Amino acid sequence: MIIKYSKKLLFVFVLLAQVCFGQKVFKIKEGQLKFINANEGVFIKKGNSYYHLKLPRINDYEDLSEGVKYELDNVTPEEINNLKKDSATISALDIIKFDFENLETKKVITKNSSHQNNYQFYKYNRNFFAIDFLKDSSHKPVKKFLLNYCILDFGNNNKIIFHNEGFIVSTKEKVKFSFKDKGLNDAFKNYETENLKSFTTAEVYFGNESKLQINNGFYKTDTLWNKKLKIKDIYNESVISKSFDSIAFDNFFIVGYQKGKINLYNYAFQNLNIQNLKAVSLIKHFPLMQIIEGNSLKTINLIGKDSKMSDYNMEGTPFSVSFSDYFDDQTADFKIIQKNGMFFLEPYSISISSIVPDVRKFRKELQLLNSNEFETVEFLDEMASITTQSEIGAFSIKDPIMIYVKLKNGKFNLTTIEYLIAENPDERIIAFNNKLPKNLDSIKTIRDQKYLIEKDGLFTYYPIRKEIKYKKLEDFKENFARFELPNGQKGWLDLKGNEYLDN
């Protein structure tokens, strides 16, 4: 199909069924390939005329999945002469047949002097190449680019790789890496290759995680006829061979659940292959995951090796985390005071009117309901600040705000601010309050609106697990706490209240 414009011809690439090492090939049937230049583009000859092959942005994923449109712009003889003089131009006469499979197994490392930047180039996964900046003499890699790409086939063995930063072309001299960025272009003039071994954590890690994240552009989940889920790319090709009952993911890991088994992957689509895996918990913002392997709790990194949080929160490391782009937490602030043996809420300390609408009506101290029965109250004489909504923590509190009181008989009750300050609490507040545990032997706040409570020698974390049933409960280690039941059975409890019993 040819549509004529003034000085322009519009063509549509033909998307071949052929797949070359996991990537689609686009065949250009018009004209002969003549020149390639990362900054100027691709030039072809048709008849006696030269044309600039105006390629689209390759990271426009939606358009790329349907085929690619391009324009042919007329080029003057003077422009062609200037192109020939440019040392960055690659002539089609120098192109030789490209063994694409070499890029599956090789890593390209630039070899420049100490005062010049060095980089490494390798296949990150089936759809993306990676370019890492080698930070220092110890070659600690920092991801600079993840490049999705396609193959342009001009016929006569003239195949080149096209990505958003330029081209990869196999010539009689060597494989040439032609980049728009002059620094990269100069750096890749001198390089060596070595066999691509197992990735390090730094090589798997990519700071701009959203580029890879499932259902965010390039990759998606697809529901099959049997209601199983698969992960596919924009070309509708499966990137993981297995199908799953359900899939969970964050910026760093993919978790596939299949008939009671758990499969872990990173975004290089490497199976972390951990045996006897009972449970996993993603750690928000960090390239780490907590797992229960057998009866043991571990923290693993992007390649499935044991790790720890301190390795990933250090200024200047590739993994340092910034929270500057997040909205501030919303809090409910208040202060409880004691006068003449009674307990009151200070009205001018309150910033929770959106949760307790009637508070704004009061301009005097609010006596807490039944406060003559209290020995003390949580947050007494301190400014309480309860986080009600957190973008960083990805949570919000919808229920009334809980608070505990110690009775004069030595027992503890869990109640709510809304119940304590209302002269006539509504039915919802009363019903919520009545369900809270009372006459406790001890209570301890472990984090916002979560408590370790004890009654009759048994414990629980409320409201994570409402039944008071544990003989022993250890502190939470991020997302899991160790427990023991009265019958001696041990296991792990997660923040959602799920139990994982030891074998």
Statement to judge: residues 86 and 104 lie in one domain: no
CA separation for the pair 87, 93 (Å, rounded): 15
Statement to judge: residues 69 and 155 lie in one domain: no
Closest CA to 120 of 175, 201, 196, 174: 196
Q: Are residues 6 and 146 in contact, defined by beta-carbon separation less than 8 angstroms? A: no
Statement to judge: residues 448 and 489 lie in one domain: yes
CA separation for the pair 11, 44 (Å, rounded): 13
**Which among 207, 237, 265 is the end of a domain?**
207
Q: How far apart, in Å, do the first and last CA atoms of the chain sit?
A: 66
Statement to judge: residues 331 and 415 lie in one domain: yes
Q: Are residues 243 and 228 in contact, defined by beta-carbon separation less than 8 angstroms? A: yes
In a domain? residue 185: yes
Question: Tell me, what's the pLDDT at 61?
Answer: 75
Statement to judge: residues 105 and 150 lie in one domain: yes
In a domain? residue 375: yes
In a domain? residue 1: no
SS3 97: coil
CA separation for the pair 274, 269 (Å, rounded): 14
SS3 434: helix
Q: Are residues 283 and 478 in contact, defined by beta-carbon separation less than 8 angstroms? A: yes
In a domain? residue 4: no
Q: Are residues 152 and 21 in contact, defined by beta-carbon separation less than 8 angstroms? A: no
SS3 340: coil
Statement to judge: residues 481 and 428 lie in one domain: no
Question: Tell me, what's the pLDDT at 58?
Answer: 82
- 417 sits in which H/E element: helix 417-421
CATH number reported for the structural domain that contains residue 235 in this entry: 2.40.10.360
In a domain? residue 424: yes
> Domain range holding 495?
440-502
Q: Are residues 434 and 416 in contact, defined by beta-carbon separation less than 8 angstroms? A: no
Q: List CB contacts of 419: < 8 A, sequence separation 6 or more.
A: 369, 400, 425, 429, 430, 432, 433
CA separation for the pair 293, 500 (Å, rounded): 11
Closest CA to 279 of 309, 301, 299, 252: 299
pLDDT 10s digit of each residue in the chain, 503 long?
333 334 555 555 444 435 555 567 888 887 899 999 999 999 999 989 999 988 878 877 776 766 667 788 899 999 999 999 999 999 999 999 877 777 888 999 999 887 788 999 999 999 999 999 987 655 578 888 999 998 898 888 889 999 989 999 999 989 999 999 999 999 999 999 999 988 988 899 887 667 788 998 899 999 999 999 999 998 889 999 999 999 999 889 999 999 989 999 999 999 999 989 999 998 877 889 999 999 999 999 999 998 876 555 444 455 555 555 556 667 777 788 899 889 988 765 555 554 455 555 555 677 888 899 999 999 888 877 777 666 566 667 777 889 999 999 999 999 998 899 877 788 988 999 999 999 999 999 998 889 999 999 999 999 999 999 999 999 999 999 999 999 999 999 999 999 999 99
Statement to judge: residues 195 and 112 lie in one domain: yes
Order across the sheet with 49-54: list the strands. Answer: 3-5, 8-12, 69-74, 49-54, 41-46, 32-37, 90-91
**Which position has the token pair 């110690």?**
406
Structural domains in the chain (count)? 5
Q: Are residues 450 and 397 in contact, defined by beta-carbon separation less than 8 angstroms? A: no
Statement to judge: residues 241 and 336 lie in one domain: no
**Which among 207, 229, 264 is the end of a domain?**
207
In a domain? residue 9: no
In a domain? residue 285: yes
Statement to judge: residues 86 and 35 lie in one domain: yes
Statement to judge: residues 290 and 247 lie in one domain: yes
In a domain? residue 12: no
Statement to judge: residues 298 and 233 lie in one domain: yes
**Which among 283, 311, 339 is the end of a domain?**
311
Statement to judge: residues 87 and 170 lie in one domain: no
